[in-house]
Amino acid sequence: MEQATEKKYPLTAKDYNLCEEIGEGVSASVHKALCVPLNEVVAIKVLDLEKCNNDLDGIRREVQTMILIDHPNLVRAHCSFTTGHNLWVVMPYMAGGSCLHIMKSAYPEGFEEPVIATLLREVVKGLVYLHAHGHIHRDVKAGNILIGSDGAVKLADFGVSACMYDTGDRQRSRNTFVGTPCWMAPEVMQQLHGYDFKADIWSFGITALELAHGHAPFSKYPPMKVLLMTLQNAPPGLDYERDKRFSKVYAVYENFGTKSSVLLLKHSFLQSFKELVGACLVKDPKKRPSAEKLLKHSFFKQARTNEYLVHTILEGMSPLGERFRTLKAKEADILLQNKALYEDKEHISQQEYIRGISAWNFNLEDLKNQASLIEDDMSITEDSSVSGRHAYREDDGSSVEGVNSGGANHSKAASHLEDGLNDAHDLENSLSAFPIKPLQALKGCFDVCEDDGAGSPSFRDSIRSDSGEQILDREAGKIDGVDSGTSCSLSHSWRRRFSSGSLLQENNLSPKKFNGDGDREHLQPRYQSERNYSGPLQHRPKKDFSNSNAGEDAPEGAFVERRGRFKVTSADQSPKPSLIQGAPTNFQNPISGGPTSPSIPSLPTATVLSSLQCILQQNLAQREDILRFIKFVEQSSGIATELTENDLSQMTPKERDLQAQVIHMQQSIGSLVEELQRLKIKNSQLERKLSATVKQDDKIQE
């Protein structure tokens, strides 16, 4: 491949001395290296082509993009070449590392306001350039915002970026499913009408929250749940209560005209930050501002210079390689400590987290588990969702409702839902009640990288640490057994998590502390609940499973559908029997007008309550009708049994006809009684569900 810059970067591996590892992604590891002929420190991204699952197109695209771009806020590749079965991409060394790693190391609760403004402004500038050149980045997140030793901010990782002009028809919207769930725009998840540059604006909004809080909203949830929550809930945002540390009044000095005067402006950072995030996190992409427009937002008045970043966040940080090693070791340690938890069934979300997207398996059990985790979110009102309170309190270690709160609540929620989610039919009903159909949106979207467990790339041997010490081997971090029972080995999922964002708290690696707020003076080392930091989801062509053994992984029940790696199994696909032929079957959901279902997950609790009450009343009325009908039939059949053979022979045709009808009615009684039983059971289930919901509602109101 041709060199991209004036300087001639060598195209052979022997001209580079690979040093320690400084980053790891889903598809690659990144090393510090010395380019010997130029005596220049560089970063080399090493992609193992054998592990790339034929996604060579994606790699080609990434490298092409990286070489062609030319903007101070985007990481440009110097050159690339293959060595053995690896592809090396040589790029500038960004000594500060990614914002995510910096937060993990020293700012677990997010950055200070001016830092956020400075970082984001630089990112927007990069996006303006990318979008103007027809590219969508598709993976904007703190893990991909790199900082150089001079405080330069650059957006990296074009692994999933897309060129809008790829098809040649300059089509301006895409139809592929890529990105990382927490940062992924709803329209990318939905795949209904494609998406465009505005998908990056959504991810940018999520990244803003990530930089403010130290983690992305919903980051602790398993990927499926993240998708559902993004589609269902009101967009996340800043909250006046939780984020009041951003409410400080700032002094803004401005020069006017020739006379240099200083004006003290009272400015609430929180207000403009809230506005910025709110503008980006609008579900309708058309209503999101363009990157260009965003750049003019008043929020960026807080932005400072690159030097400011050097002084505030880089000074005092340990070298990147050392930081990376420490974080990696810490994560391995925490995984070991929590091993027992993962064996506990009550910690489904943590299991999902460990498994990562690689192990996504949409069988019935998984769907049930995922769906059972959804219930607790029904309590999230627009407001609390917007504030993100629900998702954050847990992070402080104080357990609240939610998945990771010690398991008790979760297990309660899960068992509570058991009743309502007894079969796949109900499950599908409940999912289909979402305003947009996430399942449909998900089916066939993914191909999933399976970890072959094969470890080190051949280049490993040549790697040495700057300090000469043995660097932590990737395999050394592998913890056997933790992931037992899943289809993904830990080494893989661990890599995946680490790369894109576990924010396991770090012992205060750096002496750097804030002196501003006071509330962040002490960065206590603590192990916070783990999150799901799933890596990018790469869209690949759907596979033909027509010859596959459809039922191979199905835990039970008939196989319904399988597209890509998605499959939905159902224990009962048979149509529900109608009550009686000719009898009314209009069990209508009073809200939607559709058939009633015990699960109406997309509705707020109050609406669900009134809906359930209506259904209950309807069922009671129907039961009365049926009882009356049975009584009537019993009376009729009583007359019939008193008739003798003789009587029958003397009957007129009309009488015989009537008699036949009576017999038919008698036969119906059996099925009516059965139906009645079924309704009774359903009634009692509804009653239980209703009282549980009322209790839950009461609790929330308390």
Q: What DSSP element (H or E) covers 212? A: helix 198-213
| Residue 146 vs 386, nearer CB to ligand ATP | 146
What are the distances in angstroms from CA 260 to CA 179, 255, 395? 47, 5, 47
| Residue 159 vs 214, nearer CB to ligand ATP | 159
What are the distances in angstroms from CA 493 to CA 269, 352, 488, 489, 588? 38, 10, 7, 7, 45
502: left (phi over 0), alpha (psi -120 to 50) or beta: beta
Pair of tokens at residue 394: 């847990």
| Residue 25 vs 388, nearer CB to ligand ATP | 25
Question: What's the closest the beta carbon of residue 358 comes to ligand ATP, in angstroms?
Answer: 12
Q: Is 198 annotated as a binding residue?
A: no
How far apart CA 655 and CA 387 sit, in angstroms, is 73
Question: What's the closest the beta carbon of residue 320 comes to ligand ATP, in angstroms?
Answer: 6
139 is annotated as an active-site residue: yes
Question: What's the closest the beta carbon of residue 25 comes to ligand ATP, in angstroms?
Answer: 2
| Residue 34 vs 643, nearer CB to ligand ATP | 34
How far apart CA 666 and CA 540 sit, in angstroms, is 59
Length of the chain: 702
Which entry of 55, 57, 70, 139 is annotated as an active-site residue? Answer: 139
Helix 198-213 × helix 113-132 angle, to 10°:
160
* Residue keyed to tokens 């708290």: 505
Q: Are 328 and 335 in contact (CB under 8 A)?
A: no
| Residue 141 vs 567, nearer CB to ligand ATP | 141
How far apart CA 635 and CA 668 sit, in angstroms, is 14
679: Cα separation from own chain's centroid = 38
Residue numbers at the binding site for ligand ATP (CB under 6 A): 22-28, 30, 43, 45, 75, 91-94, 97-98, 101, 143-144, 146, 156-157, 159, 499-500, 535-536
Question: What's the closest the beta carbon of residue 154 comes to ligand ATP, in angstroms?
Answer: 8
How far apart CA 374 and CA 220 sit, in angstroms, is 13
Q: What DSSP element (H or E) covers 600? A: none
Question: What's the closest the beta carbon of residue 113 comes to ligand ATP, in angstroms?
Answer: 24
| Residue 28 vs 115, nearer CB to ligand ATP | 28
Pair of tokens at residue 125: 């500038």
CB atoms within 10 A of CB 610: 13
Residue 305, SS3 per DSSP: coil
Minimal CA–CA distance to 188: which of 233, 230, 216? 230
Question: What's the closest the beta carbon of residue 27 comes to ligand ATP, in angstroms?
Answer: 4
DSSP letter, residue 313: I
Encoded amino acid at 561, one letter: E
244: Cα separation from own chain's centroid = 26
| Residue 433 vs 537, nearer CB to ligand ATP | 537
Q: Are 284 and 275 in contact (CB under 8 A)?
A: no
User: What is the bridge-based pairing of β-strands 86-92 and 162-163?
Assistant: unpaired
Question: What's the closest the beta carbon of residue 533 comes to ligand ATP, in angstroms?
Answer: 9
Name the binding residues.
45
Which residues are part of the catalytic machinery?
139
Name the binding residues for ATP.
45
